Chain A
């Protein structure tokens, strides 16, 4: 032990914990991904039939899997675009000092302080057939509207994405606001002095300066949204018929509802590989800052 340099010893506990929980399972994953292990068949995992690359072959033609991938990408893109748009708009309302400003910020960031499962539950109730959203639509249109959002194959994505957007726009807002408050004030003043309109100042001066902050915010939110699970589980569990499955939900259903562990392990390995490679590229803005 004493031969290990002091600084290495300091990182050892953290490194070993992560190894135990991430690296070792990944090694097991490598094996499982090439087997047809299904715990319901009562064969221990290490005795499972070796399957070569057939799992990957099957995944390629598994529409449900492919759809869940594209659905997840769609959710990521949509949610982040909406969150960013709302966050920018909101942050611009908070540039000047006014009484109650702090209170208003505190209320607006409340959603991100809620346990995601509870937030999802709230949205479950809101979008219930007999929930307040349908009631509002009924009141506004004057016709009884008892649409079953959560069991509709297409529209069920709306509450899921709204829950995600509702919960995480505040974070995006805080990030953008921090960025805006740290902008070099004189550049904006100079633009004002040169006679530029507020829109010109925003698009030509402020936005380019915000790019680093926005890219960090987008990368971080993209990573988190890509993992989206809690709202899907609470709101639809991927139903009806897998129509609302995101990657995480698909894998959960495959592994813990249909118990196709080997097959899902292959999907997991694939996702792991893609995510890590993509993240290494995406982490650039973080790297620049750090």
Chain B
């Protein structure tokens, strides 16, 4: 009996290790490629771990001019055409993601509060927000291009912020709603007995209790915004650049995709997502299920 149990345990742990290897391997490849010199990117046989680690890819990402100088000294070095430094993309992503997150969470909190405490719009009202999330964005993108050109929002930060805010609002509303739902209304009632207005009671009693939840929601929304690709691709034209666009932009006419540079940009740009992701690991399930499944 004992032996069979240890046997099973060994088998189970082995399966976990295999799963962990599968989970990590593509990320390993991304990181390891980001340190490969350009002639090793598509070598055959592929190089699993380079013997000549270089920072050239990261140099291209952050200091394109420096990288060009460096390349000039090297024989047979890379020809690449991307002029813009990634700083611009980081700046763009930061502005758009932060602003859209603030708008989404602020509007979402107000709406969630109204839905929870006033049952605004009845039982089915919150579901119309969900349909926004169910529609493939591409279906809305075509008329949005038209609308944005009328409103002169194409290729502006504000346009992208607006789009991101609207498409993350369902998450904000539903997630924050589930957090507010966890706070008994009686607490606000107690404050109101002492003469506080209803909204002030919400601000002074409930809001402090759900601020952790709201912060998690904000980080979650930030991750969504930071990772977004389709809207950025369609609604911008070079003036506004985001990190995901920058990654896709590292393509050269002569050598096709610049694997190493893409990998370097990818590694760097995904770090905030990983950090925030693990910070809100406890709430990620709640977020992605619109608050339906709690931990």
Residues of A within 8 A of B (CB): 6-8, 10-11, 13-15, 17-18, 20-22, 24-29, 32, 45, 89-90, 93-94, 98, 104, 106-119, 121-126, 128, 130-132, 135, 138, 146, 166, 170-171, 174-175, 178-179, 213, 216-217, 220, 223, 226-227, 229-230, 233-234, 247-248, 251-252, 255-256, 261, 264-265, 268-269, 271-272, 275-276, 279-280, 283, 285-287, 289-290
Q: Complex: how many Å from CA A248 to CA B233?
A: 13
> Which residues of B approach A to under 8 Å, CB–CB?
12-13, 15-16, 19-20, 22-24, 26-27, 29-30, 33, 42-46, 48, 103, 106-108, 110-111, 113-115, 117-118, 120-121, 126-127, 129-147, 162-163, 165-167, 169, 172-174, 198-199, 226-227, 229-230, 233-234, 243-244, 247-248, 257, 259, 262-263, 266-267, 269-270, 273-274, 277-278, 281, 284-285, 288-293, 295
**Interface residue from A94, A122, A248, A286 paired with B27 (Cβ < 8 Å):** A122
A18 touching B26 by the CB < 8 A rule? no
For A216, what are the chain B residues with a Cβ–Cβ distance below 8 Å? 289, 292-293
Chain A residues, Cβ within 8 Å of B120: 7-8, 10-11
CA distance A138 to B138 in the complex (A): 39
Instruction: Let me know if A175 and B27 touch, CB within 8 A.
Output: no
Q: In the bound complex, what is the Cα–Cα distance between A27 and B143 (angstroms)?
A: 8
B22 touches A166 (CB 8 A): yes
Q: Once the chains bind, are A107 and B162 in contact (CB under 8 Å)?
A: no
Query: How many angstroms between the C-alpha atoms of A128 and B136 in the bound complex?
Result: 29
The reply to whether B162 and A123 form a contact with Cβ atoms under 8 Å apart is: no
Can you list 20 A-B contacts (CB < 8 A)? Answer: A11-B111, A13-B111, A14-B110, A14-B129, A17-B165, A26-B140, A111-B26, A113-B270, A124-B257, A125-B29, A125-B30, A130-B43, A130-B44, A178-B285, A220-B289, A229-B136, A265-B143, A275-B134, A287-B127, A290-B290
Query: In whole angstroms, how far apart are the Cα atoms of A13 and B29 in the complex?
Result: 44
CA distance A104 to B19 in the complex (A): 9
Which chain B residue lies CB-closest to A229? Answer: B230
Inter-chain contact B266/A289, CB cutoff 8 Å? no
The CA-CA distance from A174 to B118 in the complex, in Å, is 33
Q: Are A138 and B45 in contact (CB under 8 A)?
A: yes
Q: State in angstroms the CA–CA spacing of A119 and B127 once bound together.
A: 31
Contact assessment for B227 and A115 in the assembled complex, using a CB-CB cutoff below 8 Å: yes
Q: What distance in Å separates the Cβ of A199 from its nearest Cβ neighbour in chain B? A: 13
* Bound-state Cα–Cα, A70 to B18, Å: 33
Residues in A whose Cβ lies below 8 Å from that of B142: 29, 32, 251, 255, 261, 264-265, 268
The minimal Cβ–Cβ distance linking B261 to chain A, given in whole angstroms, is: 11
- In the complex, are the beta carbons of A15 and B111 less than 8 A apart? yes
Q: Which residues of B contact A20 (CB under 8 A)?
A: 162, 166
Tell me, in angstroms, the Cα distance from A170 to B274 when the chains sit together. 14
* A110 and B146 contact, CB distance less than 8 A: no
